[in-house]
Structure 1
Amino acid sequence: MTQAPTDDLVLAAEAAAARLDTLPVLVVGAASAERWDGETPPAMLNLDAAAEAASTEPHLMISRVVTARRLGLKGLRAYDLLELFAFVRPGRFCLPTGAGLAAALGVSAEGPDEGAESIRIRACAARLLADLSAETYRYRAGAGAAATMMARAGWLWGPHVIDAFGHGPREGAGLSGKNGPPRKKSAGGIQVWDELDEWEDHGPLPPPDDRPVLPDEAAARLKAMLGDGAEDRATQDRFARAATHAFAPRELADGPNLHLLEAGTGTGKTLGYIAPSSLWAEKNGGPVWLATYTKNLQRQLDQELSRLYPDPRVKAARAVIRKGRENYACLLNIEETTRAVLSRQDAIGRAPGNRAEDRDRVLIGLVLRWLRFTRDGDMIGGDFPSWLGPHFGRNRIAGLTDRRGECLYAACAHYRRCFIEKAARKSRHADLVVANHALVMAQTVNRGDDPETPRRFVFDEGHHLFDAADSAFALHLTGMEGAELRRWLRGKESGGSTRARGLAQRLEDLIGDDTSARQQLDACIDAAFHLPSDGWLGRVQTAAAYGPFERFLASVRAHVLARSGADGPYGLEAPAHRPGEGLLAGAEAVAGTLDALMRPMAALAARLVDFLDEEAETLDSQTRGRLDAAARALSLRADLVRGWLAMVSELGATSETSAGDLPGVEIPEKLETVSWLALDRIEGREIDVGMHRHFLDPTAPLADSVLKPAHGIVITSATLRDHGAGEDDWSSADMRVGASHLAVPPKRLHLPSAFDYGSLTRVLVVNDVNKADNARIAAAYRVLFLAAGGGALGLFTAIRRLRAVHAGLAEPLEQNGIALHGQHVDPIDTATLVDMFRADENSCLLGTDAVRDGVDVPGRSLRLIVMDRVPWPRPTLLHRARRAAFGGRSYDETLTRLKLAQAFGRLVRRADDRGVFVILDGQTPSRLLTALPEVVPVERVGLKQAVDITQSSIA
């Protein structure tokens, strides 16, 4: 598939170099824009004039998506520097800002203050194109072929890249290895998937030994990691010593050595648990899994492991980052998508700069560039630029990952190069595996019988274990879930180029002419015909539902609309008890469909297991692996359908309801699960409908499937306990992490923060702002953010209120030289927004829960936190049921105090940080403020006084 430049591309490339200096530059802010043609002084434009200019001709800019959003344009052709950076430096990191690009490229914009950003943008473009022609350019492999393909697709940078590339050394002469693993000699073509290194298989490992880690050993390892001259932190030493309890041999089956370690901010808990974890792995020849809740902490852990393994090659062998399969690039998806987009007719027109841009081809070009140089193939949160998601559509990028569960395993032509298989094999032989809570639960639940399943864990961000388990063990009988199962079973049934093989295609060569397996397979495919198909939502909304499943969804929707008693842009809920006749009839019909599907799926899974036994002497290892994987996947989905069947069967049963103040909330017998019906909406647009079932206490299945089989576990966080319940009360921690379900009680230790909060922070409750008036809230944020001079984080309990405040803040902050970033406003992922906020100490950020928990922003970049109101739990039906079961008002207050403690914990991250914590809710109860350090007195003040205190405290 190698493509040589055609005459029109050559001609365009020859003219490209002369055009770069004449490209106009456009920098768009919240209220105005700067345009520079390179000759006359920069001109300031209002947004309407900037939109007209941008629509008239392509401009040089950073992030066409952000620019289009600010200008109110649906689409925008532009010379986007972010796309050029992704092409020229594939797999490398940069912030999607002028300062971020300049820092990554080593560019400094010298010149007058007026137009400095435009000068910097043009300098970054020149530097990137100069890189392509440099003798030392290390990303040369495949660049020419990709540029040609993208130029044919109408990519504006294509001719410039071809021109710059044509002045450099021949393709394939670039350096390799230093910035990534050594590559095979490149053919310089598009077929990158054939040029990646293959993984090597190893025999099964013996079970790990069980030698303990002694406290003195852990302390010595910690000291070695910190190095000479490091600050002596007694609490960190104590943490490392205490954590060794989890690395001693356990005494009882189902009785893990569990240690709950609450360590205040600044303790240094990350290195504190890495020390004994790494020692145990080295001494016993088995892995320790380090699990986090957020990807932010996963990235921080990866960085901290460099202290333990300073040699990158050693680190790559002994520490592995693991995520779910849906995060990794699927080589077969990429190959087939590439072939599909290249088979389409070239865009019309001879001059590439005048062609309508084929965004699919441009995306594939950038993906292929990245694919050659990626560290581990992680497209979601890894080294694939996260800011490209909004440029091309997150679904397009997600479609290139293994999100549909259609893996062919050993039957795939790319199996030996598969990133997922590489990561799985590395994790079996690694010392430390950095994963997330969800993956740990999935691995232990789905593969609990596997002798290689790890038995030693560290759960950081342990206060989120309840939420992680709640997601992991819930069941959702919805249209989306049903349609996804149909695709998994029947494949893609309508037109389109995306790969979506059905079950028959994946199992064809495995079952051969086995009559029983063939019959069960046919029965599965036939039964799946009655699951929701493409367009199901429109049919459900318009009384045109087809088949029993869709008719059930239509009856659920009608039930919710009739009984929710509310309306608006957000989702609606209704209790599942006392269903009407229509819903009962729908449930009965769909139960028959589910039963007809579940039985052959379970039978086929059992038959595949039989093959493993009957053909044990003749099966090669790859076929055995495929059979095992297929049997597990079928069994898991059969269990899912079995769960759905139980859910609809419950609809006809008589259920108890909660007493007192919770009418209409169903709490089934034995207080095990809670079921309800829901219509999911985003900003008024319906996206899904169905029935949901959650465990009332999800830590019960967590304890059964994850904690009890383990031998040793550390659960740590700065906020495990509800401190409002008393200094020695660990009951809230036990309940939230599953310790209350274990026969052997855990060890518990609280280590206070190393910071002097009394001298470093102020806590203010503003009592004269109407929290129901968005204009007054926006004004309060404005004066507080300006008083701090930036470096402020605004936290919200509702997205709609966040957006309203952002609209009132952006212009006045910009006029004072302060950049404002907004989660749910800017088309940029949350992790990148936090990176941008961290990099500019005078910027501000508005966000919700995702930026309240687990975000590390040390220094002056975060010196003020403002919360719009008390973060009470949202009163969903599930929450109401749990509230009734776990203590009523005290349960609400526990959850709220934990959120307040997490938010306050963002403010001081190192000993020289200073900050102010403000709540714009005069009705904040004093009993909730016990979540904050008692050495910091809470001051109830008016807004003006809060502004004065902010100015004087963090000037």
Structure 2
Amino acid sequence: MDNRPNLPHRPGTVRGVSDLPDVDELLDAAVRALNGTRRDGQATMARSVAAAIDSREHLVVQAGTGTGKSLGYLVPALRHAVAANATVVVSTATIALQNQLIGRDLPRLTEALEPLLGRRPVYAILKGRRNYLCRYRLSQAATGPEEAELFDPHLLSSLGRQVRRLHEWAEETLTGDRDDLTPGVSDLAWRQVSVGANECIGPQMCPVSDDCFAELARAETIGADLVVTNHALLAIDAVQGYRLLPDHDLLIVDEAHELVDRVTSVATGVLSDRSISLAAKRAAPVCDVELTERLAETADGLALMLADTPPGRLDHLPDPLATAVAAVRDAAHACLSALPEPPRDDPHAASARRLALAGLEEVHRTAERILLCVQQPLRDRQDVVWFARGARQTPGLRIAPLAVNRTLRQALFTERTTVLTSATLALGGSFDLMARQWGLGPLPDHDPAEAAEPAETTATPSAEPSPLRWRAIDVGSPFNHARSGILYIATHLPPPGRESLHPEYLDEMAELIDAAGGRTLGLFSSTRAAVHAAEELRERLPYPILCQGDDSTGHLVQQFAADEATCLFGTLSLWQGVDVPGPALQLVIVDRIPFPRPDDPLASARQRAIGAQGGNGFLEVAATHAALLLAQGTGRLLRSVHDKGVVAVLDPRLATARYGAFLRASLPPYWGTTDPQVARAALRRLHEAASRAA
């Protein structure tokens, strides 16, 4: 169910800025209504966002954990929307964060501001079409998938039950939003009843368009003061050229440290025998059978060529593989050219053609893009191609952009004011590295490797054809990191090995966890390391140890938070996705600096490209990646002003390597030590205090 209030569209009258209370008065009212506490950093952020709106100057805000940055940008954004009768777009990293803003923050905030603004601001959520059940697709859906022959009978039986359940849910849901379906269904089942933007036949042709969940949700954004979307949809709007977002003069990007990865993901193409076979199958009902059979045969040919291809980056395609990719491109083009126009009054034919067109265009575009890339000299390439094969991914060729800064520059910074915010943006004490990745350009005369204190700065990059005006500010955090947390670096340990955990690392973990009485979040660089540590330490320690993969991540985090003696080990999603305040988490262990793997195709290609242009590829790619994850991971320790604990980094390179100063300057300012006795003594004191309090 959608529990948002049924708000009227905003009136057409425009109130001048001078007619409204200032940002400080509005923020005070919001904090009182939400039973919060005024925070200096939050107020500084709100005033800075308001100033950026007035000056039409882009703004980068680092707001540490506990600042309350949501209110810091929502209050000035809503004030601007009401004063200017304009729409503001807020983009978050995930749909879960979207739902948090819509379901928790905005209902209370708009109610609190209504008396001061003169009316209640209107807000709406905007997700991709794929997130909504499609009534027409549902009416055509069988209980088995299009690619049924690829799955075993047990999976197909489960799928049939899920699709039947979706039919029942369609009769009772008011939103058709997948997030409102509890319990959920598999991605495979959802694909049978949803369509992407490129698969939809459109409201003019669709016989159930008046009841289309996606169109109804989109209609709510018309005239809204504030629209909450996510980075993936923002990326689709920027990369693929779809006009998905409403016209807006202010864009706020929350969790902006994830933006580049999300845009890169959307811009990545995949060519596999499965995607080609599915495209051929979708085209079969509407295209000449000889042409679709020819396309299906090219899938077999590509699979044959890839069978002997080792995973990794492909700077050049061997002739047989290039021939196979060219055959795919040509066969897909032949099918596209032969697709007939459907009768105007036949939605079934239109839907079949639209599904075929979407699959064929994706296959053709990706094959063409791969061939064009490898034909260019390395120094001129804008993309990187690699072959991926693994337990969790379909074997296939992948192609991704070496950089997305030009795309983001054009899409985000040329036509509107943009505010980018996160708890982690000043890497090595500088905003330059993130700004370059976004397309803002670096601050002049500043070395990003220097660990200087971040200060408010203004920049106009001189190397850009159209200089961009932007400021960056760090509003700090209400947490006293130096008094509440210890950063312990285990310099007495050997450097980490390439594969398994060194026995000394396991000994160190056991001693730290025992001193803490459990209460530990273990962040590992690989699933193998997390599983190895969990298995070994379960035999040596009396505390429950959960490991990612044992259950859903959300359920594991709930178990971890509920029992103070429990430990939780895991990989990437735990580095950024755990929010457990209180004594259940008093020790964060990091097994090694989270550099990308040396054989990571995209990271290694980006490093090489930056180095070829005279830049520091290691700093801008590998060290930046590690700094972001380390800052996010160590930030799991303090989640409230009352929390205390220890971050233990077992990788001695954080203290001994030349790049260690850059990485340490990217972390919250914990008090530091390399003495294991100091770390263990602090953990024992916290354990004893928590036990007495319990």
TM-score (norm 1): 0.59
| Distance in 1 separating the partners of 2:355 and 2:138 | 26
Please point out which of 646, 651, 662 is paired with 1:921: 651
Partner residue, 1:789: 517
Does residue 862 of the first structure (1) align with residue 570 of the second (2)?
no
Aligned to 1:746: 470
1:549, distance to aligned residue in structure 2 (A):
4.0
2:180 is matched with which residue?
A: 383
- Deviation digits for residues 390-421 of structure 1, max 9, x if unmatched? xxx55335544446964444455543333222
1:673 aligned residue: 383
**Structure 1 residue 800 and structure 2 residue 601: aligned?**
no
* Amino acid in structure 2 at the alignment position of 1:281: A
Displacement of 1:267: 1.8
- Mapped contact 2:490–2:648 kept (Cα < 8 A): yes
**SS of residue in 1 equivalent to 2:630:** helix
Structure 1 range deviating more: 582-591 or 463-472: 582-591
Match of 1:682 among 366, 391, 402: 391
Q: What is the rounded CA distance, in whole Å, between the counterparts of 1:317 and 1:422 in structure 2?
A: 19
Unpaired runs of 5+ residues, structure 1, are 1-90, 92-178, 183-198, 251-256, 342-356, 491-501, 505-521, 533-546, 562-571, 612-618, 656-666
Deviates more, 1:424-433 or 1:395-404: 395-404
Q: CA deviation at 1:320?
A: 2.7
Tell me the distance in 1 between the aligned counterparts of 2:268 and 2:157.
41
Matches of 1:590 and 1:368 in 2, distance apart? 37
Q: Which has the higher contact order (CA 8 A, sep 6+)?
A: 2
Conserved? CA contact 1:213–1:279, under 8 Å: no
Q: 1:698 aligned to 386, 404, 411, which one?
A: 404
Distance 1:793 1:583 in 2: 45
The question of 1:279 aligning with 2:79 is answered yes
Q: Distance in 2 between matches of 1:489 and 1:948?
A: 67
**Aligned pair in 2 of structure 1 residues 840, 756: CA closer, same or farther (>3 Å)?**
same
Q: For 1:20-46, what per-residue CA distance to the aligned partner results, in whole angstroms no more than 9, with x for missing partners? A: xxxxxxxxxxxxxxxxxxxxxxxxxxx
Instruction: Pick one of 251, 262, 274 that aligns with 1:457.
Output: 251
**d(CA) in 2 for partners of 1:940 and 1:528?**
65
Which residue, out of 357, 362, 368, partners 1:645? 368
- What corresponds to 2:672 in structure 1? 938
Amino acid corresponding to residue 806 of structure 1 in structure 2: A
Deviation at 1:335, TM superposition (A): 5.5
TM-score by length of 2: 0.78
Relative to structure 1, the CA distance from residue 627 to residue 486 in structure 2 (aligned partners, 3 Å threshold; closer, same or farther) is: closer
| Counterpart for residue 432 of structure 2 | 731
1:264 aligns to 2:64 (yes or no): yes
Are the equivalent residues in 2 in contact too, given 1:258–1:712 (CA < 8 A)?
yes
Task: Report the identity percentage.
Answer: 25
Contact 1:473 1:701 in 2 (8 A): no
**Equivalent pairs, count:** 632
Q: 295, 298, 315: which one pairs with 1:548? A: 298
Mapped partners of 2:265, 2:129: distance in 1: 17
Q: Which residue of 2 aligns with 1:221?
A: 26
Query: Equivalents in 2 of 1:434, 1:273: separation in Å?
Result: 13
Residue 746 of structure 1: CA displacement?
1.5
What's the CA shift string for 1:697-754, capped at 9, x where partnerless? 112122223432x3121111111121x2xx4x43212112221266323122221222
Counterparts of 2:637 and 2:208, CA distance in 1: 47
Give the counterpart letter for 1:734 in structure 2. Answer: A
Deviation at 1:946, TM superposition (A): 3.8
| Cα distance change of structure 1 residues 719 and 472 upon mapping to structure 2, 3 Å threshold | same
Query: d(CA) in 2 for partners of 1:839 and 1:414?
Result: 46
Check whether the contact 2:332–2:361 (CA below 8 A) recurs between aligned residues: no
CA–CA separation in structure 2 for the residues paired with 1:852 and 1:845: 12
Aligned twin of 2:603: 879
Partners of 1:402 and 1:260 lie apart in 2 by 36
- Does residue 435 (structure 1) correspond to residue 221 (structure 2)? The answer is no
SS of aligned partner of 2:324? helix
Query: How far apart, CA to CA, are the structure 1 residues paired with 2:647 and 2:590?
Result: 8
CA distance 1:861–1:408, shift in 2 (3 Å): farther
Of residues 318, 325, 330 in structure 2, which corresponds to 1:580? 318
Q: Is the 8 A contact 1:236 1:268 kept in 2?
A: yes
The structural deviation recorded for 1:903 is: 1.3
Question: Partner residue of 1:949?
Answer: 682
Conservation of the 8 A alpha-carbon contact between 1:377 and 1:419: yes
| Match among 301, 305, 315 for residue 106 of structure 2 | 305
Measured after TM superposition, the shift of residue 486 of structure 1 is 3.5
Letter in 2 for 1:385: T
**Deviation of residue 458 (structure 1)?**
0.9
Q: Distance in 2 between matches of 1:644 and 1:581?
A: 15
Indicate how the Cα distance of structure 1 residues 778 and 860 shifts in structure 2: closer, same or farther if over 3 A, else same: same
* In structure 2, distance between residues paired with 1:304 and 1:734: 29
1:207: how far off? 11
User: Residues 93 and 230 of structure 2 are in contact (CA less than 8 Å); yes or no, is this contact kept in structure 1?
Assistant: yes
The 10-residue stretch of structure 1 (796-805 or 361-370) with the greater mean CA deviation from structure 2: 361-370
Shift of 1:763: 0.9
User: Displacement of 1:759 after TM fit?
Assistant: 0.7
The residue that corresponds to 2:88 in the other structure is 288
Q: 1:325 aligns with which of 125, 129, 149?
A: 129
Distance of aligned partners of 1:215 and 1:221 in 2 relative to their CA distance in 1, 3 Å threshold: same
Checking the alignment, whether the CA contact within 8 Å between 2:143 and 2:160 is kept in structure 1 is no
- 2:49 aligns with one of 243, 251, 269: 243
C-alpha deviations, 1:77-135, integer Å up to 9, x for none? xxxxxxxxxxxxxx7xxxxxxxxxxxxxxxxxxxxxxxxxxxxxxxxxxxxxxxxxxxx
Cα separation, partners in 2 of 1:894 and 1:440, compared to 1, 3 Å: closer
Answer whether contact 1:261 1:716 (CA < 8 A) is retained. Answer: yes
- TM superposition shift of 1:362: 5.8
Structure 2 CA distance for partners of 1:306 and 1:916, relative to 1, 3 Å: farther
User: Residues of 1 paired with 2:577 and 2:19: CA distance?
Assistant: 30
Q: How many Å separate the matches in 2 of 1:549 and 1:328?
A: 31
* In structure 1, distance between residues paired with 2:433 and 2:426: 6
In structure 2, what is the Cα distance between the partners aligned to 1:834 and 1:697? 34
Distance in 1 between residues matched to 2:328 and 2:479, nearest whole Å: 59
Q: AA paired with 2:209?
A: Y
| Counterpart residue identity of residue 330, structure 2 | G
In the alignment, the residues of structure 2 paired with residue 279 and residue 403 of structure 1 have an alpha-carbon distance, to the nearest angstrom, of 34
Structure 2 residue aligned with 1:844: 567
Name the structure 2 match of 1:50.
Answer: none
| 1:395 aligns to 2:188 (yes or no) | yes
Please tell me whether the aligned partners of residues 463 and 736 of structure 1 are also in contact (alpha carbons under 8 angstroms): no
Q: Counterpart of 1:267 in 2: which secondary structure?
A: coil
Question: How far apart are residue 224 of structure 1 and its match?
Answer: 1.8
Structure 1 residue 368 displacement after superposition: 6.3
Aligned equivalents of 1:454, 1:629: Cα separation in 2: 35
Give secondary structure in 2 for the equivalent of 1:861: coil
Aligned counterpart, 2:216: 422
State the distance in 2 between where 1:880 and 1:208 align: 54
Assess, with a 3 A threshold, how the Cα gap between structure 1 residues 339 and 319 changes in structure 2: closer, same or farther: same
User: Could you give the per-residue CA deviations for residues 421-467 of structure 1, whole angstroms, max 9, x where no partner exists?
Assistant: 22111122432222210111213455556894444311111111111
* Alignment-mate amino acid for residue 950 of structure 1: L
- In 1, the alpha carbon distance for the partners of 2:144 and 2:351 equals 32
Decide whether the 8 Å contact of 1:479 with 1:553 is kept in 2: yes
* Secondary structure of the corresponding residue to residue 89 of structure 2: strand
CA RMSD of aligned residues (A): 4.3
> Which amino acid in 1 is paired with 2:536?
G
- The residue type paired with residue 93 of structure 2 is Y
